[in-house]
Amino acid sequence: MKKIILSGGFLLFICLNAAGQTDTLYSNNQKISCTVKEVTESAVKYSYPNEDLVNTVYKNSVQRIVFKNGREQIFTEASSYKTVNGVSDFDKVTVTAVESEIKGLFKIGDVSSKSVGTTALSNQERVKNRAYRKIKIQAAMMGANIVYLTNQRTEGNKGGTEYTAASAAETNLTGISYSNVVPGLADFKKLLNGRTDFAAYEEYRLAGSSSDYSYKELMKNFFIGSVHDDNGIITIDGELEGLNKVNQYRLVGVSKDHFNIFYRDKSTVYNISVKF
């Protein structure tokens, strides 16, 4: 019995010692045991154990590194993004025109907005602010917390002439929404616990012609046929009661008691809350 205890203790020492021979990189969605080769201005380069291939990950997606000597390095790039837990958090969405700020993040989808003044005397800055507010709402509905602007066009009020009509101030924005964190497939399936029938209880809706989202309570069934990972983005093949023309939804948020799905119908986008 004494020899068995000694052998077990020796094996435990070997395992702990081996685990301490690698660095640990914590990205937004996973923990990686590796050897960190280099930390540059914009990226971290590392290799997996017993491999020579050098991999690169942008610092925007790295939270911290725990080196094998115990030293810990925190990265402010990843922690600078605000958490958007739902549509009502739209004001936490960051809008940027700097491409380096979205490197390494998860691409969610295209977003756009348009705001037009009511008269030729409309305040141009207010019109512009409405456009920014709308694109943030759309991004939040899609589960994103940052928008990379690819185009912005703003025109001021124009007075009319004998031959042309007056026109109000107008702002058009187009961009791509991103997130530094997305729901994980394994964790979501664990919360589903094998169930396929759920209750949808909230709807957030943003029409293409509207300047703000609308909200209403729901009492509809939501059926899940299958769930799969599409390059880090989880899509659900399912059916929302009363909506026969849509059969695929994007998972955009998960909490302990509910999850949120997103879908688009022409120029209108929807975010639906579903109870576990």
CB atoms within 10 A of CB 210: 13
Parent domain of 8: 2-79
Domain count, the chain: 3
What is the model's pLDDT at position 182?
92
What is the model's pLDDT at position 252?
97
Choose the final residue of a domain: 45, 79, 113: 79
Q: Are residues 107 and 169 in the same domain?
A: yes
CATH of the domain at 170: 3.30.110.70
pLDDT one digit per residue (tens) for the chain, 276 residues: 444 444 544 444 444 444 468 999 988 777 899 999 999 888 899 999 999 999 998 888 888 899 999 999 988 766 678 999 999 999 999 999 999 889 889 999 999 999 987 665 567 788 999 999 999 999 999 999 999 999 999 887 665 555 555 567 889 999 999 999 899 999 999 999 999 999 999 999 999 888 899 999 999 999 999 999 988 899 999 999 999 899 999 999 999 999 999 999 999 999 999 999
C-alpha 42, offset from chain centre:
20
Choose the final residue of a domain: 179, 207, 222: 179
C-alpha 119, offset from chain centre:
37
Q: Are residues 75 and 92 in the same domain?
A: no
Q: Are residues 223 and 168 in the same domain?
A: no
What is the model's pLDDT at position 232?
87
CATH of the domain at 60: 2.30.30
Q: Are residues 93 and 174 in the same domain?
A: yes
What is the model's pLDDT at position 167?
65
Give residue-wise pLDDT tens across range 54-104.
999 888 888 889 999 999 998 876 667 899 999 999 999 999 999 988 988
Biggest alpha carbon distance in the chain? Answer: 105
Q: Are residues 99 and 149 in the same domain?
A: yes
Sign of the four-CA dihedral 54, 58, 59, 61: negative
Q: Are residues 172 and 191 in the same domain?
A: no
Give the dihedral of Cα atoms 98, 170, 213, 138; nearest 10 deg.
-20
What is the model's pLDDT at position 155?
81
Give residue-wise pLDDT tens across range 1-13.
444 444 544 444 4
Q: Are residues 175 and 193 in the same domain?
A: no
Choose the final residue of a domain: 47, 79, 111: 79
Q: Are residues 203 and 217 in the same domain?
A: yes
List of long-range contacts for 187-194, beta carbons under 8 Å, 24+ apart: 187/254, 188/227, 188/234, 188/251, 188/254, 188/259, 189/227, 191/254, 191/256, 191/259, 191/276, 192/224, 192/227, 192/276
Q: Are residues 122 and 73 in the same domain?
A: no
